[in-house]
Amino acid sequence: MSEPRRDIRVLPPTAAERIAAGEVVERPASVVKELIENSLDAGARRITVEIEGAGQRTIRVSDDGEGIPARDLPLAFQRFATSKIRVAEDLHRIDTYGFRGEALPSIAAVARIEMVTRLRGGDAMRLALVGGAQPTLGPASGPPGSTVTVADLFFNTPARRKFLKSPAREAAVIAETVEALALAAPDVAFRLSHDGREILWYPPEQFGDRARRVLGSSVAGHLLDLEAVMSVGTLEAVLGTPQVAQPRRTLQWFLVNRRPVRSPLLTRALAQAYHTLIPHDRHPAAVLAVQLPPQSVDANIHPRKTEVRFADERTLFEDVVREVRRALHRVPLVHVVPGAGSPALSAPRVDVRTGEIESLEGTRWPLPDRAAAAGAHEGDAGQTIRWPSIRVIGQLARTYIVGESGGDLILIDQHAAHERVLFERLLASRTRDGVRAQGLVTPPVLSLTPAEGTLLDEVGPAIHAIGFEVEPFGPGTVRLTAVPAIAVGRAPEALFRACLRDLGGDGDLHHAGRSLEERLAIATACHTAVRAGDPLNQTMMADLLDALEHAEDPFSCFHGRPTMIRVRGRDLERWFYRRD
């Protein structure tokens, strides 16, 4: 074994430049991002991106921006050379995309690069470098603006090429990068082509139109606009309704001061705003643009400026949650109910807040006058939604309560409805004098696993607040002396263990933003509610509907599923060809 080298030496410039380049140039998309940001900082109104070989062979970014004076062109490729800041204090007032002075020299260190630039009314100049060296400067021809061509990316760092994904994936990441920057600058035209084929073209437009274009046609008919003044800044957003929630977060975009970023805080805030409106395994489609004072945002915590730090994270989180939730409650929220396969029955839409089902033509029938209905529910925007007076007909498949209201068919998911009722009762009781507990005549003794014992120590106060009473009963064992009163009738030991399991797992109850008490209330309600397959008599079904009527949000369960759907009698008549 060789002796470790303890002598300290200054790295050769070429080695230092390649190390620095690795912080900025991770993949072809990194080059595209840096060059587009330079174009935007130059005031470009049109930006064209051309790539070949998924960006490994060629990346060319052309713009109609200001260009660079001939005398400054060599400086643009020197480390820490920048036109964006003059003193260290300027870092707290940054309002441009680039400012570190490392992008162009980092790219040049790992590729063959050429820049042709021209000021308006001036002559074009060309500078070329190979691996950051061998500069060639001379006159050229070209329109006002700049064109940067990057060829043979990582030609002198073959190890980095090994970590690149497939050409298809690298090209996709480039497209996502262009889309993100196009959202940040909707007034700028963007064009992207790959191997001569146009991938995207965005004309100059308003933010809302650009956001809709990027989110795509699959959600285009189900988007809401949001503009709000928050206590810490402003928020502009385009939000997908719960109906178009996605299995992955691919349709989520976040902008802070016109900079595309990855933000765990904004991701959590968005998830919390949709809390109970969508299932736990779905994610909202949305574009959120936050504008904050520059001094309240640190955009220099990541070499590629893809992450930011906020001065007042708690207030920003609460503001975003509040404003997004308000926007979602201003309009009917819809879910897709799978159709029966025939054209007439394909995918009707159901309003999760009213149970209203849209007509087959795709236009909503007006809500009937239900002024005499027993209950009314008001959304954040003052929209009153009345509970229909329902006559119980019976039970379908021991899962759904079948009812009738004004000639319309009503279907209620008995488990979702009971979950909502129990959940709200638990939370309401918790906010007063504590949840009413029911003592057990024969308290069971439970042997806990080490993981269960540790978890119980952590969540003991919440367990007690929700109505469970547990006392030590020897090493590794406890005695369960009481359960929440709503849970009487369920096996107490099984219920307690199920709640502990949910609290310690990685599933639904870890959905962003839920407090420990709320997660425990969800677990208790979920494991206590009547299930699919439980038989209900007429009295039980009527009592459940009466309780649901008085819930704060009777139209959806806490998983975001609708508790009921309403099918118009006139649609039934069409299905049976009784009317045109």
- CATH code for position 509: 3.30.1540.20
Q: Are 366 and 276 found together in one domain? A: no
Query: Up-side HSE of residue 156: CA atoms within 13 Å toward CB?
Result: 20
Tens digit of each residue's pLDDT (9 = 90 or more) over 162-211: 889 999 999 999 999 999 999 999 999 999 999 999 999 999 999 999 99
Q: Are 372 and 404 found together in one domain? A: yes
Tens digit of each residue's pLDDT (9 = 90 or more) over 147-175: 999 999 999 988 888 889 999 999 999 99
Strand-pair category, 391-396 with 400-405? antiparallel
Write down the residue that tokens 């020299």 correspond to.
105
pTM here is: 0.62
The whole-number pLDDT of residue 5 equals 57
Name the token pair of 459.
């969540």
Q: Of 328, 359, 381, which closes a domain?
A: 328
Average pLDDT, the chain: 81
Tens digit of each residue's pLDDT (9 = 90 or more) over 411-443: 999 999 999 999 888 887 765 455 678 889 899
Q: Who wins on pLDDT, 75 or 59?
A: 59
Residue 530 falls within a domain, yes or no?
yes
The whole-number pLDDT of residue 457 equals 85
Q: Are 279 and 346 found together in one domain? A: no
Residue 245: exposure state from Cβ atoms within 10 A (0-12, 13-18, ≥19): buried
Beta strands in 451-506 (DSSP E): 469-472, 477-484
Count CB neighbours of 378 within 10 A: 11
Q: Which of 76-90, 195-209, 444-458, 486-500 has the lowest mean pLDDT?
A: 76-90
Q: Which of 188-202, 354-368, 450-464, 550-564 has the lowest mean pLDDT?
A: 354-368
Residue 554 falls within a domain, yes or no?
yes
- 172-180 contacts at long range (C-beta below 8 A, 24 or more positions apart): 173/27, 173/28, 173/29, 174/28, 174/29, 174/32, 174/49, 174/51, 174/54, 174/55, 175/199, 175/200, 176/29, 177/29, 177/32, 177/33, 177/36, 178/32, 178/36, 178/49, 179/214, 179/253, 180/253, 180/260
Residue 65 has pLDDT above 90, yes or no: yes
Q: Are 267 and 317 found together in one domain? A: yes
Q: What percent of the chain clears pLDDT 70, i.e. is strictly above it?
A: 78
Tens digit of each residue's pLDDT (9 = 90 or more) over 316-353: 999 999 999 888 877 644 333 333 332 222 233 444 44
Quote the domain boundaries for residue 367. Answer: 332-580
Tens digit of each residue's pLDDT (9 = 90 or more) over 66-80: 999 988 898 888 865
Beta bridge partners of 369: none
Model confidence at 542, pLDDT cuts 50, 70, 90, reads very high
The whole-number pLDDT of residue 348 equals 36
Residue 4 falls within a domain, yes or no?
no
Q: Are 350 and 493 found together in one domain? A: yes
**For residues 508 and 275, what is the distance between their CA atoms, to the nearest angstrom?**
11
Q: Are 175 and 211 found together in one domain? A: no
